[in-house]
Amino acid sequence: MNNTCRKSLLASGLVAVSSSASGNNGDQMVGFSAISNAMGGAVVALPQDVTTSLSNPAGLSFLNLGPTKSRFDMNLAVLAPERVLNGVESDGDAYVLATGGFAFESELMGDGFTVGVGAYPISGGGVDFPKEAFVMPTPNGAQEISIVANRQSLRIGPAVSYQVNSRFSLGANLSLASNMMSLKGIRNFPTDVAYGYAWVLGTTYKPSDSVILGFAYTSESKSSDLKWHTDDGTYRLSFEDPRTVNVGIGYEPNPRWQLEADVKWLNYSEVRDENVLDGPNGDQLISYGWDDQVVYALGLRYLIPARYTLMAGYNYGESPLGPEDVNNNIGATAIVEHHLSAGLGVQISRFSSLTFSWIRGFENSLTASTGLPTEVSFETDMYTLQFTYKN
């Protein structure tokens, strides 16, 4: 296999890792909890649980914390993706993710301050395509190449919100960013973890008692390079999550009904257009070709007195990859466009509740318009159980 072929497949393998989230907008999760997933990810204006610390930290000021102003939310999710490359399915049918966080009003900081702390996966999953899924032409003839890849991006850190008055709040989040990646294919890159940081600024405003507006800006993550030691030498790669801008409007005509619509912009062109892999033989340019993505989300919530809550949502974002990008992103699964979700919440005691949600990412397929006649398709289901305690 010549060096050009090796570079091309190595780039494809690396981007397969980057885009392996199972319920996604690009490579980002739709929501961070059962409730936010059930709402289709439309939560930037109306805070639903402590994961607002990451989606819009200003929402902490308007979050229902319970009678003594303290709240805990824990989530356990199972991702069930179906990924197909050239008619061959990827192994690995289930991935487990957990999120947890708490929020409380801070007497130490003074009136009007609410603090949240949590750990939230931003993306996660993997692909495991056997060698018959991809045949690489080489000067010595066709060669079958397996692609096995895993990645997880995690945020851990505090958030604080200050309620300026009864209608307006400001919030900020600063998180440790953990980025794990491994790859087995044309080269074997063992698991490595890079650490860095990311931050979020947000605001909420209520122009009336029934309408609330939300805005959040999430920075591009900044972290150290991923570093892999191989028999050929050491490879380094800088790999970051994109910055995002999210705006939303929520409508709450009475305590039973909530409706929200959000628009979110993800700046993939800045971090997924191209990259440089620094290796023992010099730098290799990796061309991914991702476009920026705009995501539209709609969520509905209805309280059935006095124990049950029904939720539903819809989420759409055009794939950041096009047919011209398929052969630069072999095995990439970041192409799901339509998501439909539903959820049920049950009050199980005076202070605690359970919420179950299901989100369906409908199948989408892409066929390469240039180069090899490669076809990839992806669909997914995500099931999440959330425990909430308010006291």
Residue 34: strand, helix, or coil: helix
Q: What is the pLDDT of residues 314-345, one digit of tens each?
A: 999 999 988 988 888 776 668 899 999 999 99
19 pLDDT more than 60:
no
Q: What is the pLDDT of residues 149-179, one digit of tens each?
A: 888 889 999 999 999 999 999 999 999 999 9
Collect all residues with Cβ–Cβ distance below 8 Å to 116 and sequence separation of at least 6: 50, 52, 53, 57, 60, 101, 102, 103, 158, 159, 160, 161, 173
Specify the number of domains making up the chain: 1
Provide the percentage of residues in the chain whose pLDDT is more than 70. 91
- Specify the higher pLDDT residue, 14 or 181: 181
Cα torsion through 352, 353, 354, 355, rounded to 10: -140
Residue 69: CATH number of its domain? 2.40.160.60
Q: What is the pLDDT of residues 209-226, one digit of tens each?
A: 999 999 999 999 999 999
Collect all residues with Cβ–Cβ distance below 8 Å to 171 and sequence separation of at least 6: 56, 57, 58, 59, 60, 61, 159, 160, 161, 162, 200, 201, 202, 203, 204
Segments forming the whole domain that contains residue 153: 3-390
CA quadruple 87, 291, 153, 114: dihedral positive or negative? negative
Range 278-302 burial, b when 16+ CB lie within 10 A, else e: ebeeeebebebbbbbbebbbbbbbe
The answer, as to whether pTM is greater than 0.85, is: yes
Which residues face 222 on adjacent strands? 197
